[in-house]
């Protein structure tokens, strides 16, 4: 999968094939214009305004409390982008907007769009990063309000592949206790506990995260089967032979190699014999050619926004092996290309 220039007729295709179209302009100006249009449409509530049916631009503007003619420009841009369709003076949602951007949709990326407006500011740091090698330290610097946007954004993202995660997760037979490290919204724990009636989960995250993520988890109505614990995985006691399953999703890219090795050893001690340690993350590709467009771009993104950047499956397996766990073949997600799980098992006593 990749993003790129798509010809809309044969003449354009011929020009594209011959390298006569200015593709860098489409890759840059049109890419950021499209991105900002969809994100701002989401933030202003344009898609929600159209959830019940087609409306004129002035009705959308009244609903969103925005300027009528400027709103019409935005709606026309969203028609061009394929997120709305127009019928005379009325606009309506295209299927892509109804499925992915309405707040109530099960696969809603609404809150991820709002989080991306924060990520927009982060990617402005690319030049400084490449010059200085210094990444951002987002967990140390964001405001309370941004913590809320971040946690809701992560929950929204999790919704797009939670069913695949729940399907492939190697939950040991008879598992009772799960630790979800850096688990934020706790949605993976929720999904797993729903599939495994004997399972309970503790979602460990930083206090600032738990404060914002607690209402998100409460909405799932899991009671004491999935609970938050505010703390820091790098300093908290994880226990001894206390867990059957330990999940760490999208967090190891924030830790350097030594930190991840020490963490793997503490997780190994905290697992019961036969227990499973699952590292779920973006896999760093072995080479830029192997990465493809998305993998290579994400590798840079995580280098800028995390303290360490992504890790390869071989590196993750090495942390697990050094902790006397037995690494398994990596699982690669179909619904999120370039991501997956590096699983290891603690040998039975």
Ligand X SMILES: C[S@@+](CC[C@H](N)C(=O)[O-])C[C@H]1O[C@@H](n2cnc3c(N)ncnc32)[C@H](O)[C@@H]1O
Q: Which residues bind ligand X (CB under 6 A)?
A: 139, 154, 158, 182-184, 204-206, 209, 232-234, 249-251, 254
**CA–CA distances in Å: residue 74 to residues 53, 63, 240, 296:** 18, 14, 56, 31
The strand ranges marked E within 112-188 are 177-181
Name the minimum Å distance from CB 42 to ligand X. Answer: 19
Nearer to ligand X, 55 or 209 (CB): 209
Nearer to ligand X, 183 or 275 (CB): 183
CB 158 within 8 A of CB 188: yes
The token duo for 264 is 């793997």
Measured distance CA(315)–CA(149) in Å, rounded: 31
Name the minimum Å distance from CB 205 to ligand X. Answer: 4
Name the minimum Å distance from CB 286 to ligand X. Answer: 23
The token duo for 36 is 């900002």
Nearer to ligand X, 3 or 234 (CB): 234
Nearer to ligand X, 101 or 204 (CB): 204
Q: Which residues of 176-204 are buried (b: 16+ CB within 10 A; e: fewer)?
A: ebbbbbbbbbbbbbbbbbeebeebbbbbb
Name the minimum Å distance from CB 295 to ligand X. Answer: 18
Minimal CB distance to ligand X: which residue? 182
Name the minimum Å distance from CB 21 to ligand X. Answer: 37
Name the minimum Å distance from CB 166 to ligand X. Answer: 13
- Percentages helix, strand, coil for the chain, rounded to the nearest 5? 50, 15, 30
Nearer to ligand X, 199 or 249 (CB): 249
CB 309 within 8 A of CB 240: no
CB 240 within 8 A of CB 268: no
Rg (CA), the chain: 22
Nearer to ligand X, 91 or 255 (CB): 255
């Amino acid at each position: 999968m990749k993003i790129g220039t798509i010809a809309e007729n044969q003449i354009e295709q011929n020009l594209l094939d011959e390298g006569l179209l200015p593709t860098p302009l489409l890759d840059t100006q049109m890419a950021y214009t499209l991105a900002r249009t969809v994100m701002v449409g989401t933030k202003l509530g344009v898609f929600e305004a159209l959830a019940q049916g087609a409306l004129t631009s002035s009705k959308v503007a009244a609903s969103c409390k925005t300027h009528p003619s400027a709103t019409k420009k935005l709606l026309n841009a969203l028609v061009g982008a394929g997120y709305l369709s127009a019928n005379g003076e009325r606009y309506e949602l295209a299927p892509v907007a109804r499925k992915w951007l309405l707040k109530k949709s099960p696969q809603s990326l609404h809150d991820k769009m709002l989080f991306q407006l924060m990520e927009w500011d982060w990617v402005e740091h690319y030049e400084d990063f490449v010059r200085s090698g210094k990444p951002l330290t987002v967990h140390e610097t964001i405001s309370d309000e941004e913590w809320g946007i971040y946690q809701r954004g992560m929950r929204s993202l999790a919704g797009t592949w939670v069913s695949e995660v729940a399907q492939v997760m190697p939950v040991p037979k008879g598992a009772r206790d799960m630790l979800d490290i850096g688990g934020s919204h706790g949605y993976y724990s929720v999904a797993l506990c729903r599939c495994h009636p004997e399972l309970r989960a503790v979602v460990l995250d930083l206090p600032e995260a738990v404060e914002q993520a607690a209402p998100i988890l409460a909405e799932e109505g899991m009671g004491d089967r999935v609970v938050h614990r505010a703390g820091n995985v790098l300093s908290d006691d994880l226990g001894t032979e206390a867990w059957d399953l330990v999940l760490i999703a999208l967090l190891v890219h924030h830790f350097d190699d030594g930190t991840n090795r020490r963490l793997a050893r503490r997780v190994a001690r905290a697992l019961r014999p036969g227990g499973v340690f699952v590292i779920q993350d973006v896999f760093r590709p072995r080479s830029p050619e192997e990465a493809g467009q998305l993998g290579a771009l994400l590798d840079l993104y995580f280098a800028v926004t995390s303290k360490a950047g992504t890790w390869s499956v071989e590196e993750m397996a090495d942390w697990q092996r050094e902790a006397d766990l037995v690494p398994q073949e990596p699982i690669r997600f179909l619904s999120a290309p370039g991501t997956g799980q590096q699983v290891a098992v603690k040998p039975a006593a």
